[in-house]
Amino acid sequence: MLDILLDIQHTKKYNFEIIVVNLDQKQPGFPKHVLPNYLEKLGVLFQIVQKDTYSIVK
């Protein structure tokens, strides 16, 4: 979905900003650095929301 939105954004036909929001569920062993590094490489604004849903579900 992000790739599609970036393609549309680069056509300049529509003017919009993309901000990626992701939920960090505090799952043990999850590599937290992968998504932020990817989004920074793309130059996309992002926000990581942290909520320990893992403990609640477990």
d(C-alpha 9, C-alpha 44), whole Å: 12
Is residue 7 over pLDDT 90? yes
pTM of this prediction?
A: 0.78
Q: What is the pLDDT of residue 56?
A: 86
d(C-alpha 58, C-alpha 56), whole Å: 6
Q: What is the pLDDT of residue 55?
A: 87
For residue range 19-29, what is the model confidence (pLDDT) as tens digits? 999 999 999 99
For residue range 11-57, what is the model confidence (pLDDT) as tens digits? 988 899 999 999 999 999 999 999 999 999 999 999 999 999 888 88
